[in-house]
Amino acid sequence: MSETPVTATPVGVAPAAVAEEGEGETQEIKALKGQHEELVASFQRYQSALKELQSTRASLQSEIKAFKGGLGALPSADQAHPCVEACRSDMTSMQYFLPRAGSRLFRLIFGSMNVRFVQLSERIAYKQEFERYKARFGLVLLVLLPLSLLLANPHLDQAFGIMSVMYYSIIVLRESVLKVNGSRINLWWTAHHILTVAISQTSGVAMRNPAFRSRFRVLTLSLGMLVFGFQQVQTKYQLRRLRLMTALAKTEVMSVTSHETVSFRPDLMARFLLLPILFINVYQMWVGYSMAAYGLTSPWDRDTLCMVASGAGFSIMAIGNLLKSGRAVRRQTSKHQSMVRGKSLARLFDSAKQQ
């Protein structure tokens, strides 16, 4: 990834009329000229430091690349040596503070540009802005959906489809930046968002067919209301949790993802998390199956192909969401049980000491 070199900019060259001291200069003008000279000197020091930083960073990147090549050339018997493992760990830590481009999709759209934030505060700010984007844009879609249902206006339906594509496309791109900056986002959720973009496009084509539109329009829009409503609750929780973890100076603050399960007690988790997830995904699976089955029994054309593809996509997303959410819940439940057992053992040890 190439970096744009810093070039010296001729700053602070005042016009002759300003540079020449006149007899009628006031104290305010003299003070302004002094502040201007200090500002120009500070900017020149900044340019010099930036040029030195770029030179040092380029040299460090070359040294790390050469050192990693030397590590890879070691005999296989030496690869497992603790010293080699420590060197690899250090190289990874060093590279975490060096520039890095985004994902392949990001580079395809924006080119090879640096998307890594060196300061943790910048990463947290970007993460917070990402959650606020989901909350605001998702709320707009959530308001647009009931209007489309009530008015039955095809233009509103098209607007919702276009905005859904834009919403999830931006999420995919921003998540690629979050991954580079330390967020643990599972590959399935990235694939889920890309699949949602594809389904939004294929279903929009299929709904031009009057038979498909009259049969599945209400089902798909009501499904969208359920999904975006649940996402609003999720996003609000993520913003609160991110603020809390930032206040507590948690090192894994960037690891918060939009689909990470809440570490509540199992009874609260089942009541407030599992039941909505189960209902939404079963409903989505039923909508997908109905669309695919109806499309397979219809005359074969482009609209029918898009209907079958949309139905299959809905079903795949529902199954994948259930599997991933189930694993996350089991993991969080296991953590909760381990914490409960640890607290019980601690109480036993305390009581034994008192006796």
The CATH number that applies at residue 296 is 1.20.58
pLDDT of residue 108: 86
Q: Give residue 279's identity as a one-letter amino acid code.
A: F
pLDDT of residue 21: 52
* Residue 313 forms part of a structural domain: yes
Question: Angle at which helices 154-180 and 120-151 pack, to 10 degrees?
Answer: 170
Report the sign of the C-alpha dihedral through residues 114, 115, 116, 119, in that order: positive
Half-sphere exposure of 71 (CA within 13 A, CB side): 20
DSSP 8-state symbol, 317: H
Global pTM value: 0.75
Give 213-282 as a DSSP string: HHHHHHHHHHHHHHHHHHHHHHHHHHHHHHHHHHHTT-TTGGG--TTPPP---HHHHIIIIIHHHHHHHH
- Cβ atoms of 242 and 128 within 8 Å: the answer is yes
- Cβ atoms of 287 and 216 within 8 Å: the answer is yes
How far apart are alpha carbons 150 and 141 in whole angstroms? 15
* 3-state secondary structure at position 7: coil
To which residue do tokens 């008192």 refer? 354
**Which residues, in sequence order, are CB contacts of 37 under 8 Å at separation 6+?**
12
* Residue 146 forms part of a structural domain: yes
* Residue 213 forms part of a structural domain: yes
For 311, the domain range is 106-251+261-339
pLDDT of residue 351: 54
Written as tens digits, the pLDDT of the chain (355 aa) is 555 555 555 555 444 444 455 556 788 888 899 999 999 999 999 999 999 988 998 898 888 888 888 888 888 877 778 888 888 888 877 877 888 888 888 888 888 888 888 888 888 889 989 989 999 999 999 999 999 888 888 888 889 999 999 999 999 999 999 988 888 888 888 999 999 999 999 998 888 888 888 899 999 999 999 999 988 888 888 888 777 777 776 545 555 444 444 444 445 555 566 788 889 999 999 999 999 999 999 888 899 999 999 999 999 999 998 888 777 767 766 665 666 555 554 555 455 445 5
* Residue 40 forms part of a structural domain: no
Q: What angle do CA 135, 137, 143 make, to 5 degrees?
A: 95
DSSP-H helix ranges across the chain: 16-19, 27-72, 82-95, 104-110, 120-151, 154-180, 187-206, 210-247, 266-269, 275-296, 302-354
Instruction: Give the distance from CA 164 to its chain's centroid.
Output: 17
* Residue 92 forms part of a structural domain: no
* Residue 26 forms part of a structural domain: no
Half-sphere exposure of 45 (CA within 13 A, CB side): 6
How far apart are alpha carbons 173 and 105 in whole angstroms? 8
Instruction: Give the distance from CA 171 to its chain's centroid.
Output: 6
Instruction: Give the distance from CA 275 to its chain's centroid.
Output: 26
How far apart are alpha carbons 226 and 280 in whole angstroms? 7
* Residue 203 forms part of a structural domain: yes
Phi-psi region of 12 (alpha: psi -120 to 50; beta: other; left: phi over 0): left
**The total number of structural domains that make up the chain:** 1
* Residue 170 forms part of a structural domain: yes
pLDDT of residue 319: 93
How far apart are alpha carbons 174 and 138 in whole angstroms? 15
